[in-house]
Structure 1
Amino acid sequence: MIPTIFSHPDRQPQKFRPFKAFQHFRKLIADKEDTEQVFHIFENLPRKGFMDDARAFVTSDFGRKLMELSLIHI
């Protein structure tokens, strides 16, 4: 299996910034179609175990099955 890189090695760790996340949350509430704000919210509310959980999911049988190429049979 090819190793999956989740983050560039030079990328700085994200900081916990709840007030910045709240600003993006308010923008999302104002315009519910602006779903880009969800990404900003999660970037500003990082969780320490996320990378470990993501890696465990991708290497699990279920995660590998989800990532398999799936073509519709005609």
Structure 2
Amino acid sequence: MTALWRSVLSALSDPAAADREQVLAHGAVALALQRDLAATPTDVLDDGLHEFGITLGAATTTAALDTRRAALAQPG
């Protein structure tokens, strides 16, 4: 998880980063799921706005949430 937060900090400091929205969406997902495992895409959008000061796209947010939930569902 440390690598995620390094990537988030890097994306926050570089507005021109190619994958900035995806990285920040994954960070917002991590925060939202830490608060509530039943977090919704709206919760993730709110975290992106309030924690990172960025408006994330709905598609990017949903994809990041689905990816993280799939990873959490994997055994081990």
Larger helix percent: 2
Shared topology, TM-score over 0.5?
no
When the two structures are superposed, what TM-score results if normalisation uses the length of structure 2? 0.30
Higher Rg of the two aligned structures: 1
